[in-house]
Amino acid sequence: MRKSDITIQIKKKAQELGFFSCGISKVEFLESEAAYLERWLKNGMHGKMHYMENHFDKRLNPALLVDGAKSVVSVLLNYFPKEDIFKNERLKISKYAYGEDYHLVIKEKLSCLTEFIKGLVGDLSIRSFTDSAPVLEKAWAKKAGLGWIGKNGNLITQKVGSFYFLGEIILDLELDYDGSTTDHCGTCTRCIDACPTEAIVQPYIVDGSKCISYLTIELKDQFIPIEFAGKMQNWVYGCDVCQDVCPWNSFATPTNESSFEPNAAMNVDVLSSLTEDQFKNFFKFSPIKRAKYEGLIRNIQFLDSEKK
């Protein structure tokens, strides 16, 4: 098959699997991203996410992850819920965590797409990723024309905003490549103005150590730093503020992926009286398990202490 035909078939299959969009970029060293990442790490904006310091070269060069890598296939999967079930509640969970762990959902879909590609071209070096390896997902999605990286650090599309997950397939096969799109943030600063902890320190630069998502998920300390008291805006797992205020998300449409339907624990009453056994039961297949029971309770208690 010609590479143009293979490219068309890959994108068609991605759509059949439920991905919102699929774009393809040529493997190359991410030179501009290398300079940004180096400064970001040097300035300690990764907080205590020490894993971000590892595999610096691999993050910038997919050929170190897949032998002979030539192409990166990037996909987007919509997770925008039918209802913002925590709106105006005294406890809030980020929309991406309402349902099943996206790692599991996307891994299965990418596995199907990988097998499909093998069926088209035969044996080849190929690996799939979704937030599970040192891959700069947003950079590759941007190069594949799926969107631009906004002032809040999220990949944004004109069609549906930014409420979606990313995944990639890296393979040693030349394909037809898509061109990058242009930035459409313009003079808007809504995300910067709305960030409760001022984590967006300047346009396009996010200090991860100040982000509520970092504080409630990645930070494993016994206590959340007192400097953030009064700034959490009821978030106990993740934060959607910078996305909720983004004008492009007015175009967001509810996902058709049944795996992302809210599970039984997605209500304030359950969260408020959660036991460790219930946590393990309710969140066995949820991204919330990343915070662990102790972390989620710490976050809830921090909010309670704010109100006393």
Structure tokens at 61: 């060069």
84 is catalytic: no
Secondary structure (DSSP) of 60-93: H-GGGTSTT--EEEEEEEE---SS-TTTT-SSEE
In angstroms, the Cα distances linking 143 to 40, 71, 239, 277 are: 21, 11, 26, 44
Query: CB count, 10 Å around CB of 227?
Result: 9
Residues 6+ apart with CB under 8 A from 8: none
CB 256 within 8 A of CB 164: no
Name the catalytic one among 84, 131, 183, 244.
131
CA dihedral 168, 172, 176, 180 (to 10 degrees): 40
Query: Cα separation of 98 and 81, whole Å?
Result: 8
CB 221 within 8 A of CB 48: yes
Catalytic residues: 131
